[in-house]
């Protein structure tokens, strides 16, 4: 049963929901693409936009410089002397909008359209992570508007480099330990089980990513004059990439599986109990079923097995028509998802060696790392997870599921490493939200119930 306080707050949330949507739309209009320096001014603008919102709500705010994009920090103390301190993590940067031609509407011109669940907001960042960040921001706003205070001491840390692998975060956390001190971190960047079933994510995969360029001839060549007598860099790169996996989908980088835990029978049974609907999951993206290591289920592969994927490849002539050229260089972007105790640094080194050892004669290569993070599994019996679950139970009829995710949130590992703090990951995304894809969207239902949920969780955390 919700408390009287929560009932009043919930009423306020529903009555003012349109304003919440309007604010999210305003924020989504700012193309805060962190990976592309052409958008640097917009990234800063997105941070300041949220800073102004928080200032208006009474938070003390600070935009803290890093080697890359700044971190927006905000803080508001509770009047409750026994209140715990909660650090909220999210990110204000977004993925690039391209390929633009595959969007039905412009990625940075948010629109509200019909969805199978009611209404949805379509824009880059609608879910990941601006919509998700708004679930706790608007919960604070409702608490403050209704009760004039927050039941917990709240700190907020919004970074601007999550989509590029959080390269500056470790240094930032190390330098700002005291400022960030809290009892628990709440991370809002994950998904639900389905639209009616909330989820707390207790494991995430780690990440290593890199851009690799191999170079053969010192200039582009005419393929008639040189075809058959030089090693073509595009063919050569394809040959190396082809060797990254064996026929069973196992990654062939040296020592790649060091630190990957064996799944126990009990863990496999727990995952099987979730009854993941493969037909729906793969059918929705036009595939008849899962690929990859045949001895694992798709949920096991997504949450408990590592992966290595090309994220981009390019070289030579890619325009209209044809150009009979042998390119001097070939390029790719690649990322590995890690589990258990896989060591990102060792994997990066072995990845470089994998390419280096296979380079044709006379070839050179460069590798640029964009960031890395370890895999994390949270203790599922903590009081904070119990509080989050109790909060979600106030809002949803279906019981909360404890799940993993195949995605990577470097922040979670770094927060544990540098602040000695655990994180509770509770978010309101859906599998079909098209995050990192054209037509990214966030269900208004998810936004609204997400706000309710964070309002309730905040009350439960205060009772610990």
**For residues 344-373, which are near its own copies according to CB under 8 A?**
360-362, 370-371
C-alpha distances in angstroms, 438 versus 81, 99, 123? 47, 7, 9
Q: Which of 286, 357, 397, 420 binds its own copies (CB under 8 A)?
A: 286
Of the pair 223, 445, the CB lying nearest its own copies is at 223
DSSP assignment of 331-350 equals: EEEEEEEE-TT--HHHHHHH
For position 309 contacting its own copies by CB under 8 A, the verdict is yes
Size of the site for its own copies (CB under 8 A): 101
DSSP 8-state secondary structure symbol assigned to residue 70: P
CA dist., res. 376 & res. 394, Å (int): 28
Residue 273 in the binding site for its own copies (CB under 8 A): no
Q: By CB under 8 A, what part of segment 327-346 binds its own copies?
A: 327, 330-333, 335, 337
Q: Is residue 243 within the footprint of its own copies (CB under 8 A)? A: yes
CB of 289 to its own copies, least distance (A): 8
Sign of CA dihedral 297, 302, 308, 311: positive
Q: Which of 81, 318, 397, 420 binds its own copies (CB under 8 A)?
A: 318
- Is the backbone of residue 122 left (phi > 0), alpha (psi -120 to 50) or beta? beta
* Nearer of residues 2 and 292 to its own copies, judged by Cβ: 292
User: In whole angstroms, how close is the CB of 114 to its own copies at the nearest point?
Assistant: 19
Distance separating alpha carbons of residues 65 and 319, to the nearest angstrom: 40
In this structure, the chain runs to a length of 464
The smaller minimum CB distance to its own copies, of residues 80 and 235, is found at 235
Q: Can you tell me which of 147, 438, 445, 464 binds its own copies, judged by CB under 8 A?
A: 438
Task: Work out how close the CB of 251 gets to its own copies at its nearest, in angstroms, rounded to a whole number.
Answer: 9
222 binds its own copies (CB under 8 A): yes
- Paired with 330 in beta bridges are 214
Q: Which is nearer to its own copies, 289 or 399 (CB)?
A: 289
Least Å distance, CB 38 to its own copies, is: 8
Distance of CA 35 to the CA centre of its chain: 14
- Alpha carbon dihedral 186, 281, 128, 426, in 10-degree steps, equals -10
Residue 337 CA to residue 209 CA, distance in Å, equals 9
Q: Which is nearer to its own copies, 226 or 396 (CB)?
A: 226
Nearest residue (CB) to its own copies, 195 versus 237: 237
For residues 112 and 119, the answer to whether their CB atoms sit within 8 Å is yes
d(CA 164, CA 36): 10
Q: Tell me which of 293, 394, 443, 459 binds its own copies, using CB under 8 A.
A: 293
Q: Does residue 294 belong to the site contacting its own copies (CB under 8 A)?
A: no
- What is the Cα 366 distance to its own chain's centre? 27
**Residue 163 DSSP code:** G
290, 358, 386, 421: residue in contact with its own copies (rule CB under 8 A): 290
Does residue number 279 form part of the binding site for its own copies (CB under 8 A)? no
In this complex, which beta carbon is closest to its own copies, that of residue 102 or of residue 273?
102
Residues 79-108 that bind its own copies (CB under 8 A): 95-96, 98-99, 102
The reply on whether position 135 binds its own copies by CB under 8 A is no
Helix (H, G, I), strand (E, B) or coil at 317: coil
Work out whether 232 is an interface residue with its own copies (CB under 8 A): yes
- Put the strands of the sheet holding 364-373 in their side by side order: 329-338, 206-215, 364-373
Is residue 464 within 8 Å of 384, Cβ to Cβ?
yes
Of the pair 148, 321, the CB lying nearest its own copies is at 321
| CA geometry: angle 227, 232, 238, nearest 5 deg | 135
Report 372-431 residues binding its own copies (CB under 8 A). 405-408, 431
Q: Choose which of 2, 314, 343, 393 interacts with its own copies (CB under 8 A).
A: 314
| 298 makes contact with its own copies (CB under 8 A) | yes
Residue 280 interacts with its own copies (CB under 8 A): yes or no: no
**Phi and psi torsions of 61, nearest 5°:** -125, 160
Verify binding: residue 307, its own copies, rule CB under 8 A: yes
Taking CB under 8 A as the criterion, the residue among 209, 394, 443, 459 binding its own copies is 209
* 3-state secondary structure (DSSP) of residue 223: helix
Q: Which long-range contacts (CB under 8 A, 24 or more apart) does 267-272 make?
A: 267/304, 268/297, 268/300, 271/297, 271/299, 271/300, 271/303, 271/304, 272/297
Site for its own copies in 164-203 (CB under 8 A): 164-165
Q: CB under 8 A: which stretch of 7-15, 194-202, 234-242, 378-386 binds its own copies?
A: 234-242
Tell me the two tokens of residue 350: 């072995």
Nearer to its own copies, 98 or 463 (CB): 98
Site for its own copies contains 267 (CB under 8 A): no
Nearest Cα residue to 373 out of 313, 334, 415: 415
């Amino acid at each position: 049963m919700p408390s009287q306080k929560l009932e009043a707050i919930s009423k306020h949330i529903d009555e003012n929901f349109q304003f919440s949507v309007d604010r999210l739309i305003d924020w989504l209009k700012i193309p805060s693409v962190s990976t592309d320096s052409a958008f640097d001014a917009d990234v800063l603008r997105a941070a300041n936009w949220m800073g102004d919102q928080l200032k208006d709500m009474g938070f003390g705010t600070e935009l803290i410089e890093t080697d890359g994009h700044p971190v927006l920090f905000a803080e508001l103390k509770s009047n409750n002397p026994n209140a715990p301190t909660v650090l909220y993590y999210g990110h204000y940067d977004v993925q690039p909008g391209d390929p633009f031609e595959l969007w039905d509407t412009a990625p940075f011109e948010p629109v509200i359209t019909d969805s199978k669940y009611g209404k949805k907001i379509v824009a880059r960042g609608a879910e990941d992570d601006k919509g998700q960040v708004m679930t706790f921001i608007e919960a604070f706003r409702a608490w403050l508007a209704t009760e004039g205070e927050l039941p917990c001491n709240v700190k907020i840390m919004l970074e601007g480099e999550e989509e590029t692998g959080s390269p500056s975060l470790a240094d930032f956390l190390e330098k700002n330990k005291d400022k960030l001190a809290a009892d628990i971190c709440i991370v809002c960047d994950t998904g639900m089980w389905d639209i009616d079933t909330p989820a707390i994510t207790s494991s995430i995969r780690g990440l290593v990513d890199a851009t690799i360029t191999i170079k053969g001839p010192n200039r582009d060549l005419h393929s008639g004059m040189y075809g058959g007598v030089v090693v073509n860099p595009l063919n050569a790169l394809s040959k190396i990439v082809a060797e990254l996996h064996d026929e069973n989908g196992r990654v062939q980088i040296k020592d790649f599986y060091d630190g990957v835990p064996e799944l126990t029978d009990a863990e496999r049974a727990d995952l099987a109990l979730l009854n993941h609907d493969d037909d729906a999951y793969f059918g929705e993206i036009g595939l008849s079923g899962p690929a990859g290591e045949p001895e694992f289920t798709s949920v096991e592969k997504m949450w408990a097995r590592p992966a290595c994927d090309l994220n981009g490849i390019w070289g030579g002539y890619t325009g209209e028509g044809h150009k009979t050229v042998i390119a001097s260089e070939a390029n790719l972007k690649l990322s590995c998802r890690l589990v258990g105790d896989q060591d990102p640094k060792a994997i990066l080194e072995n990845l470089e060696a994998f390419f280096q050892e296979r380079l044709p004669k006379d070839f050179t290569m460069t590798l640029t790392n964009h960031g890395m993070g370890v895999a994390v599994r949270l203790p599922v019996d903590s009081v904070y997870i119990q509080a989050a679950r109790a909060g979600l139970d106030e809002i949803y009829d279906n019981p909360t599921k404890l799940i993993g995710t195949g995605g990577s949130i470097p922040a979670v590992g770094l927060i544990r490493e540098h602040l000695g703090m655990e994180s509770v990951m509770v978010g309101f995304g859906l599998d079909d939200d098209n995050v990192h894809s054209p037509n990214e969207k966030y269900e208004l239902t998810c936004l609204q119930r997400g706000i309710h949920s964070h309002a309730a969780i905040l009350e439960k955390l205060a009772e610990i």
